[in-house]
Homo-oligomer: A and B are copies of this chain.
Amino acid sequence: MLGQLTIGDLGRATETKVETIRYYERIGLLPIPARTAGNYRSYDDWHLGRLSFIRRARNLGFSLEQVRDLLGLADQRDRSCEAVDAIARGHLADIDRKIADLTALRRELSSIIGQCGCGTIAECRIIEALAPHP
């Protein structure tokens, strides 16, 4: 399977919308492919690999900027992977912070909802919790 791929093929192979692929090209994340006589983008397996990498990293929640850095590092095969490790650990710390924030939020919202006796709005505990009542 070393054939040429259209943008639609690439999209199906990586579960990426065609517009997203063109967007990645526009921001310089995915290299510019060759064109057919009819001006269609023509991709090969190397492009497929690149896009797969990008999508896997995105699915793990890395930002496009982090993906850009990871791609740059992935190409320097004999460098130490410290920098890669640092990006990944930084991202893990971000995720931990988000989970902690959401968990605190969940606790608060859940306690507010628990107090709602479901009468009229005038006596609604949820509205009361949001309205200023000092």
Contacts and interface: CB of A to CB of B under 8 A. Distances in A.
Per DSSP, chain A at the interface is helix
A85 B118 contact: yes
A61 interface: yes
A92 interface: yes
A81 B126 contact: yes
B121 A80 contact: yes
Contact of A74 (B76, B78, B105, B130): B130
Interface of A: 48-49, 52-53, 56-57, 60-61, 70, 73-74, 76-82, 84-85, 88-89, 91-92, 95-96, 98-99, 102-103, 105-106, 108-110, 112-113, 116, 118-124, 126-127, 129-132
